[in-house]
């Protein structure tokens, strides 16, 4: 059974960098694309980025200038960095496995972590 | 980006009722659409992929249809455990986007 677990600080100061790691178990990180999605409190879902083990990435255009996603195959983990955070970045951050499709390499989120709340506040 | 518009944003129905949610894309996305269920405090769960294919293990009272720009998600007979927020998500292009969600409550 595939399991994903997010980890990282629950509180980040404004203007600083948010850093999260997702640890994958029950599957090799070299087999699929892997993604970050976030959900502000009481609001909807927003896709942030995805990565393949080879390092191929894709970012949400609205966040691209502040986001970096990376992968560590030796630890079966992938990570997110979001710079210059503001209160608007307060959200539950989910990591997820992504299946491909005929038209795009990453299409469907089939396994999700439980999510971790990150609050941006001084 | 492709914008996904869901309606209604919330609904209240009785147990056993047929519930229908719509999702409209800002451009033709063929059938490149998924539906997810999110219960309070939990991660979303994939229910339907490719607009109409039921994910393994998902009850058959859930169904999806549509193509192009207009899509429908249906619960044929609402059950108490179906209380959740439902999201559509398109994958027609590299920038994946979700609808705003539909919160389903029991009347």
Instruction: Inform me whether the pLDDT recorded for B75 exceeds 90.
Output: yes
Instruction: Inform me whether the pLDDT recorded for A101 exceeds 90.
Output: no
Instruction: Inform me whether the pLDDT recorded for A23 exceeds 90.
Output: yes
Instruction: Inform me whether the pLDDT recorded for B29 exceeds 90.
Output: yes
CA distance A32 to A24: 11
Tell me the count of A-B CB pairs closer than 8 A: 64
pLDDT digits (tens, 9 = 90+) for A36-81: 999 999 999 999 999 999 999 999 999 999 999 999 999 999 999 9
**Considering only CA atoms, which of A92, A99, A110, A109 is closest in space to residue A6?**
A92
pLDDT band for position B45 (cuts 50, 70, 90): very high
CA distance A98 to A107: 6
Burial class of B20 by CB neighbour count within 10 A (0 to 12, 13 to 18, 19+): middle
**Considering only CA atoms, which of B62, B106, B86 is closest in space to residue B6?**
B86
Helices H / strands E in chain A, number of each: 0, 11
Mean pLDDT confidence for A15-31: 96
In this prediction, residue B16 carries a pLDDT of 98
Mean pLDDT confidence for A15-27: 97
> Which token pair is B94?
């590299």
In this prediction, residue B102 carries a pLDDT of 98
Nearest CB neighbour to B43, from listed A60, A107, A115: A115
Lowest mean pLDDT among A45-59, A92-106, B25-39: A92-106
CB distance B97–A47 less than 8 Å?
A: yes
Mean of per-residue pLDDT scores for chain B: 97
> Which token pair is B19?
């519930």
Min distance A101 CA to chain B CA atoms (Å): 8
In this prediction, residue A105 carries a pLDDT of 84
Mean pLDDT confidence for B89-102: 95
Within 8 A of A113 by CB-CB distance, chain B residues are: 43
Mean pLDDT confidence for B14-37: 97
CA distance A112 to A84: 26
pLDDT band for position B27 (cuts 50, 70, 90): very high
Bridge partners of residue B54, in order along the sequence: B48
Of all residues in chain B, the one with the smallest CA distance to A100 is B91
In this prediction, residue A108 carries a pLDDT of 96
- B32 at interface of A, judged by CB pairs closer than 8 A: yes
Secondary structure of residue A8 in the 3-state scheme: coil
């Amino acid at each position: 059974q595939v399991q994903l677990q997010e980890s990282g600080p629950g509180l980040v100061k404004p203007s600083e960098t948010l850093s999260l790691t997702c640890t994958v178990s029950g599957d090799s990180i070299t087999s699929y694309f892997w993604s970050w999605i976030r959900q502000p409190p009481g609001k909807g879902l927003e896709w942030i980025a995805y990565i393949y083990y080879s390092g191929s990435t894709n970012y949400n255009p609205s966040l691209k200038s502040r986001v970096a996603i990376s992968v560590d195959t030796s630890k079966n983990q992938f990570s997110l960095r979001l710079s210059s955070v503001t209160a608007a970045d307060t959200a539950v951050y989910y990591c997820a496995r992504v299946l491909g499709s005929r038209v795009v390499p990453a299409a469907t989120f089939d396994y999700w972590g439980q999510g971790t709340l990150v609050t941006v506040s001084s | 980006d492709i914008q996904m518009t869901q309606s209604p944003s919330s609904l209240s129905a009785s147990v056993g009722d047929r519930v229908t949610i719509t999702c409209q894309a800002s451009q033709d996305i063929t059938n490149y659409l998924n539906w997810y269920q999110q219960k309070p405090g939990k991660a979303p769960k994939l229910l339907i992929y490719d607009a109409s294919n039921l994910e393994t293990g998902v009850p058959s009272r859930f169904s999806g249809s549509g193509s192009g720009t207009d899509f429908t998600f249906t619960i044929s007979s609402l059950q108490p455990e179906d209380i959740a927020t439902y999201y559509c998500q398109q994958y027609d292009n590299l920038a994946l986007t979700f609808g705003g969600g539909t919160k389903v409550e029991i009347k």
